[in-house]
Every structure is written in C-alpha cells, then in structure tokens.
C-alpha cells in the first residue's frame, strides 16, 4: 500500500506541514462516533474556535468562509467516489486509508476501479486534496474505526436548493459516482463505478 509521502500521491494532493495536535485531540475527545457505519458532520461550532482551524482558514481558503467538520466511522469499502470544484483539507486523527482517483480517469461518465489508488494516512498527517480528485469516506485500519477532520469551502456537501439536471450533482459542490451495490445507488445516486467494490482488509 502506498503512503501520502509517495510520488504517486502528488497528482491528487499535497501533504501539509502544519501543527495538527489540537485538531487530533478535539476529534479524539469530543467528536461523535457512530455505533456502526459512518457519521459525517459538515460543520461543528466548537471546531471553529481552535487556533489550528483558524490558521487553516487564513492560510488555505483565500478569505472564503471555511466549513469545519469531520467524518468518523467504521467503513472498509470504496462504495462511492465524489469530487468538488474546490479543494479540501483533511487531518487524520487516527491512522486510516483513502481510495483516490482523478477526474481525468472518468470516461463516458464512468470510473474503472482499476484506475484507483490506495493510500495510507497516519494519525496527525494533514493533506490538501485538489479539486477534481475523486475520493470518499476513509477506511479503517483496525476495529476501533477512523476519525478524520474535513475542511471545505462553506456550503460544500450541504443539500441542494433545487434538483439539478445533472444526476451526478448529489449535493452542493459534490458530484457523486456510486457503486451499484451501495445504499447510495439504492437511494438514487448515479451509478458510475465499474468493477468490484474495493474492500480494505486488515
């Protein structure tokens, strides 16, 4: 398995040299953990009070408003891929795995599983994910699950104000491709992942 320090990661994002101790501690002690599955909280009021979060907004969001939240859970599968028109910053509060692809790999509105790459992210590491990088929920590497901070431009991933003519636009600034064997596909998400649903085994 590759790591985010490998050359292969460079087309998907940047590894950030920033202090993350405060963020990791917050997620460890205060962030909700589901009994099973995943939980995604787009914005958490207390999160914005952390000095490290304020510094991320100032340095990486060009005076646009930050949306500070997190994704925690027990996922082990690819399931879906999404991309945004703007960048995303993630901080791993536990070791975890990301399955990534690139917008340029989309052919005829489909993505082949064989074109995706798998990367390990260690606790405390921070990355900036480029616009157009295909990603979705992290995968756990042990039974305790994963915790990851998610920093986005304000409004991203929130419900659409009105239905879009593009079936892939699933939420604000969120284009989603689902694997056929997923809840998202059952709920009407665009099915565009071709191949076996990747599972991370540990």
pTM greater than 0.95: yes
| Distant-in-sequence contacts of 46-52, Cβ < 8 A, 24+ apart | 47/149, 50/22, 50/23, 50/26, 51/22, 52/18, 52/19, 52/20, 52/21, 52/22, 52/23
Give pLDDT tens digits for 157-178.
Answer: 999 999 899 999 999 999 999 9
Give dist(CA 51, CA 21) in Å, integer: 11
The token pair that represents 140 in the structure block:
């756990």
The token pair that represents 25 in the structure block:
């501690």
Helix pair 51-60, 21-29: axis angle to 10 deg: 130
Give pLDDT tens digits for 100-131.
Answer: 999 999 999 999 999 999 999 999 999 999 99
């Amino acid at each position: 398995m590759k790591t985010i320090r490998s050359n292969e990661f460079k087309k998907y994002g940047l590894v950030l040299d920033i202090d993350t101790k405060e963020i990791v501690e917050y997620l460890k002690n205060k962030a909700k953990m589901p009994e099973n599955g995943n939980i995604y909280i787009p914005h958490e009021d207390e999160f914005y009070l952390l000095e490290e979060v304020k510094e991320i907004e100032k340095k990486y969001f060009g005076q646009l408003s930050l949306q500070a939240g997190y994704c925690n859970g027990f996922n082990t599968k690819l399931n879906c891929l999404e991309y945004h028109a703007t960048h995303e910053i993630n901080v791993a509060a536990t070791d975890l795995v990301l399955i990534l692809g690139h917008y340029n790999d989309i052919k005829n509105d489909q993505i082949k599983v064989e074109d995706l790459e798998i990367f390990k992210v260690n606790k405390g590491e921070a990355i900036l994910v480029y616009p157009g990088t295909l990603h979705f929920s992290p995968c756990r590497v042990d039974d305790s699950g994963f915790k990851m901070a998610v920093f986005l431009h304000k409004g991203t991933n929130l419900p659409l104000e009105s239905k879009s003519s593009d079936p892939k636009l699933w939420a604000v600034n969120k284009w989603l491709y689902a694997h056929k064997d997923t809840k998202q596909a059952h709920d009407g998400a665009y099915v565009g992942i071709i191949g076996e649903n990747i599972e991370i085994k540990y």
